[in-house]
A and B are shown apart, each in its own frame.
Chain A
């Protein structure tokens, strides 16, 4: 049984110089067989295992991760959470996640530092203004808080933005979702891992999947670097490497994997207390609790599995940032990194059964998966446990690429993909 984290446990452990904290999760060797195996120990995978154990009473679960948990895109994103999507299906999906985020620290007994500091999306031309106003109306019809701000209101909400009409892409207004914000990405993975481990989920790190064994149309198990593990149900949450796993199982996915990069500056005193995103110039920025500016750049325009990101893409983003925020012109960037994102043709995710019995995929989150972590895990767990999708993820099935019933969020979402 895990000790509860609280102010008392903090004080108690202070007396022993914080050297006797209980281990947050075990490091087990894989068993021969599990009821369900989740491939991928990122936020989505760990959340899936947690909800399978908690809500669907499945106890014999393993999460296999080729590296360390949260070391992939969970630890590489810009931690932005919002639900202001245009289409009903997306609004339902992302707002489901946002509602879980709101109580997640308490539920997991782990401070994920969820901060509803608001997300503002800027408009720089008349088409942006029309699109964003339309999205605001669509959001409100779906019960999502969203308001339109004119240029003066944008300036008032975030005073450091250059709202002069003389810049190349002047700020003509913006939308604001106040319930949106950020969370500490590592803590999300660690919180879910600790809570899942408490319920008996085996989290097996440094265990790379090498093959998927099938018997006809039924999965039988996985070949890994730690040996063969049997299971009749396998959920794949491998983000940028989803196609690699799909190729092992012999199924086809509509994904392309590309590097997406982010960078942080040297830490400075509080200067921006919200998240500001701009679709047209592709720049988004927020400030971490350490004081670093957290800046998201775009994807490289070709398939690659190198977790780097090109220099020219970062340069383009920084140019846009400097035009919007001249105050940052002398700041130094400290670190830059990339993650591999799996992008669907319609820029919406896949949470779906496949043609193979017992094999499920949760992928295609592209450039915006972090915000959906709790909702994605919850709905994927439902899909695996019941062998059918929940009504909130029914639209995000793999068959939509055959039927043509796409959820086209390219440009319809608040930022370009």
Chain B
């Protein structure tokens, strides 16, 4: 449980948000060309990092917009928040 600084609404309680999992997973551009292995990779395989992780969140009980955060999963500390479409910060 922690606070998240929504780029649209400001700092709110984490219970207002839903986590959408690992960020920057691109939907395949040519889905019909994909092998079963590539589909499994896209659909199921995750880094599940202990440490600095890039992930998507949605402000479900607020503006309902999606955005990205950089969070340390070993202590839930948030290092950066950035909008969808923006490049992730290089230095954490």
Q: Which residues of A contact B (CB under 8 A)?
A: 241, 243-244, 247, 252-257, 300-306, 310-312, 342, 345, 401-404
Verify B44–A247 contact, CB threshold 8 A.
no
In-complex Cβ contact of B40 among A300, A312, A401 (8 A): A401
| Residue in contact with A303 in the complex, picked from B15, B19, B36, CB distance below 8 Å | B19
Chain B nearest CB: distance from A399 CB in Å? 9
Closest chain A CB from B78 CB (angstroms): 11
Taking a contact as CB atoms closer than 8 A, the residue among B21, B37, B53 that contacts A402 in the complex is B37
Surface stretch bound by A, among B25-33, B69-77, B83-91: B69-77
Residue of B18, B36, B47, B75 with most chain A CB atoms under a 10 A cut-off: B47
Known: A252-B41, A301-B18. Contact between A257 and B76, CB under 8 A? no
Q: Tell yes or no: B92 within 8 A of A by CB.
A: no
Q: Given that A302-B19, A304-B76, A305-B74 are contacting pairs, would A401 and B45 also be in contact in the complex, using a CB cutoff of 8 Å?
A: yes
A312-B1 in contact (CB<8A): yes
Residue from A301, A306, A401 within 8 A of B44 (CB atoms): A401
The verdict on B61 contacting chain A, using a C-beta distance below 8 Å, is no
Write the chain B residue with the least CB distance to A240. Answer: B50
Closest to B57 in A: A302
Q: Given A256-B21, A312-B1, A403-B36, are A303 and B53 neighbors across the interface (CB < 8 Å)?
A: yes
Please indicate the chain A residues that have their CB under 8 angstroms from the CB of B43 in the complex. Answer: 345, 401
How many Å lie between the Cα of A254 and that of B36 in the bound state?
Answer: 15
Within 8 Å by CB of B36, from A300, A345, A402, lies A402
15 additional A-B pairs beyond A241-B50, A310-B15, A401-B40, beta carbons within 8 Å, are: A243-B48, A243-B49, A255-B46, A256-B46, A302-B19, A303-B55, A306-B73, A306-B74, A310-B14, A312-B1, A342-B48, A345-B44, A401-B43, A402-B39, A404-B36
Say yes or no: A253 contacts B48, CB within 8 Å: yes
Q: Are A303 and B73 in contact (CB under 8 A)?
A: yes
* A300 and B49 alpha carbons, distance in the complex (Å): 16
Q: Which residues of A contact B14 (CB under 8 A)?
A: 302, 310
- Assembled-state Cα–Cα distance A247/B73 (Å): 15
6 A-B residue pairings within 8 Å (CB atoms): A241-B50, A247-B47, A254-B45, A304-B73, A345-B44, A401-B45
> A255 touching B36 by the CB < 8 A rule?
no
- Interface size of B by Cβ–Cβ distance < 8 Å? 25
> Which 3 pairs, one residue from A and one from B, show the smallest C-beta to C-beta distance?
A243-B48, A302-B19, A254-B44
Q: A252-B41, A402-B40 are in contact. Are A257 and B48 (CB under 8 A)?
A: yes
Q: Which of B21, B45, B55, B73 contacts A252 (CB 8 A)?
A: B45
Are A243 and B46 within 8 A (Cβ)?
yes
Kindly state the separation between the CA atoms of A243 and B73 in the bound complex, as whole angstroms: 13
Kindly state the separation between the CA atoms of A311 and B49 in the bound complex, as whole angstroms.
Answer: 23
Contact residues in B for A254 (Cβ distance below 8 Å): 40, 44-46
CB distance from A138 to the nearest CB of B (A): 26
Instruction: Give the complex CA separation of A342 and B15 in angstroms.
Output: 22
Q: What's the minimum C-beta distance from B6 to chain A, rounded to whole angstroms?
A: 15
> Once the chains bind, are B47 and A243 in contact (CB under 8 Å)?
yes
Residues in chain A near residue B48, CB distance under 8 A: 243, 253, 255-257, 303, 342
State whether A247 and B49 are in contact (beta carbons under 8 Å apart), knowing that A301-B18, A401-B44 are contacts in the complex. Answer: yes
* Shortest distance between the CB of B87 and any CB in chain A (Å): 22
User: Inside 8 A of B46's CB, which chain A residues have their CB?
Assistant: 243, 252-256
| Most B C-beta atoms less than 10 A away, residue of A252, A254, A255, A402 | A402
Contacts of B18 in A (CB 8 A): 301
- B residues less than 8 Å from A342 (CB atoms): 48
B50 touches A244 (CB 8 A): yes
Bound state CA distance, A252 and B44, in angstroms? Answer: 9
Name the distance in Å between B71's Cβ and chain A's nearest Cβ.
8
In the assembled complex, the CB of B89 is this many whole angstroms from the nearest CB of chain A, namely 19
Query: How far apart sit A203 and B46, CA to CA, in the bound complex (Å)?
Result: 31
Complex Cα–Cα for A129 and B76 (A) = 39
Cβ of B53: which chain A residues have Cβ within 8 Å of it?
303
For A312, the chain B residues whose CB sits under 8 A away are 1, 15
> How far is B51's CA from A257's CA once the two chains are assembled, in angstroms?
12
